[in-house]
């Protein structure tokens, strides 16, 4: 971490009391402080924040996400959990099914979330409602983890644009359907549930 400080142009670093890094997790705030004068950066210890009497940590938030408890995760984060990325060209399966999706490039091989979600999508400062699928698209075979977003009442081209996808509500798990028609029927149901939820929530 310290070795790469020049690449980061590091000036100020805030870490928790139990922060550890490096081989065998031997690096800690004391080590960083001892190097701060040598490398000309400032180190500060952040205060511990609790939620429902538990310390907020990345592990706790990941656990909430794995349980699809988006409300608890959002309460810990102080905002909605989101993923962002640039829209890339997909294989056009969604369009053939009547649900054209924006395929968003994500670098992570694993993700705490998997399934179908109601989402809010920010594009160039404007917010849209939609449905997101994150997973391996089991109906069409095994693929790398992908994030696909279908925007409601939207028909513009999004290739190359950066989207911020905020996860609002878990709808269901990914399912390997027997046929494309079965998948389309379920997607129609997902859209109805999503529109009903958005209307009731005033979104």
Q: Domain holding 154: CATH number?
A: 2.40.30.30
Residues 69 and 134 in one domain: no
Give the model's pLDDT for residue 117: 98
Question: Are residue 43 and residue 107 in the same domain, yes or no?
Answer: no
Tell me the C-alpha distance between 168 and 66, whole Å: 14
55 and 89 inside one domain: no
As a three-state string, the secondary structure of 155-201 is: CCCCCCCEEEEEEEEEEECCCCCCCHHHHHHHHHHHHHHHHHHHHHH
Residues 85 and 62 in one domain: no
CA distance 201 to 181: 30
Shared domain for 130 and 166, answered yes or no, is yes
Contact assessment for residue 150 and residue 103, using Cβ atoms and an 8 Å cutoff: no
Same domain, 36 and 58: no
Query: Residue 27: which residues within 8 A CB-CB, separation 6 or more?
Result: 1, 20, 21
Asked whether residue 197 falls in the same domain as residue 98, the answer is yes
Which burial class, exposed, middle or buried, applies to 10 when counting CB atoms under 10 A from its CB (0-12, 13-18, 19+)? middle
Q: Tell me: do 71 and 120 sit in the same domain.
A: no
Alpha helices in the chain (DSSP H): 5-8, 29-39, 58-66, 70-77, 93-96, 180-201
What's this model's pTM, rounded to 2 decimal places? 0.77
Do 73 and 157 share a structural domain? no
Same domain, yes or no: 154 and 182: yes
Per-residue pLDDT of the chain (203 residues; tens, 9 = 90+): 555 556 677 888 888 777 888 888 888 888 888 888 888 889 888 877 777 777 788 888 999 999 999 999 999 999 999 999 999 987 777 787 888 899 997 776 667 899 999 999 999 999 999 999 998 776 666 667 789 999 999 988 899 999 999 999 999 998 888 888 999 999 999 999 999 999 999 88
pLDDT of residue 167: 97
Domain with 126 in it: 80-201
Q: How many domains, the chain?
A: 3
Residues 170, 144 share a domain: yes
Query: Residue 98, class by beta-carbon neighbours within 10 Å (0-12 exposed, 13-18 middle, 19+ buried)?
Result: exposed
Do residues 57 and 121 both lie within one domain? no
């Amino acid at each position: 971490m310290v070795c790469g400080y020049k690449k980061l142009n590091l000036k100020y670093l805030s870490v928790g009391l139990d922060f550890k890094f490096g081989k065998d997790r031997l690096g800690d705030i004391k080590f960083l402080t001892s190097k701060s004068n040598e490398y000309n950066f400032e180190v500060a210890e952040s205060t511990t924040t609790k939620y429902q009497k538990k310390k907020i940590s990345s592990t706790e938030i990941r656990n909430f996400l794995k349980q699809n408890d988006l409300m608890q995760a959002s309460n810990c984060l102080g905002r909605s959990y989101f993923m962002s990325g640039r829209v890339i060209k997909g294989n056009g399966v969604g369009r053939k099914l009547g649900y054209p999706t924006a395929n968003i490039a994500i670098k992570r091989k694993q993700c705490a979330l998997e399934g179908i979600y109601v989402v809010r999508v920010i594009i160039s400062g404007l917010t849209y409602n939609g449905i997101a699928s994150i997973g391996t698209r089991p109906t069409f075979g095994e693929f790398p983890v992908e994030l696909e977003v279908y925007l409601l009442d939207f028909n513009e081209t999004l290739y190359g644009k950066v989207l911020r996808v905020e996860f609002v509500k878990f709808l269901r798990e990914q399912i390997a359907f027997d046929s494309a028609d079965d998948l389309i029927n379920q997607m129609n149901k997902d859209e109805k549930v999503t529109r009903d939820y958005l209307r009731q929530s005033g979104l």
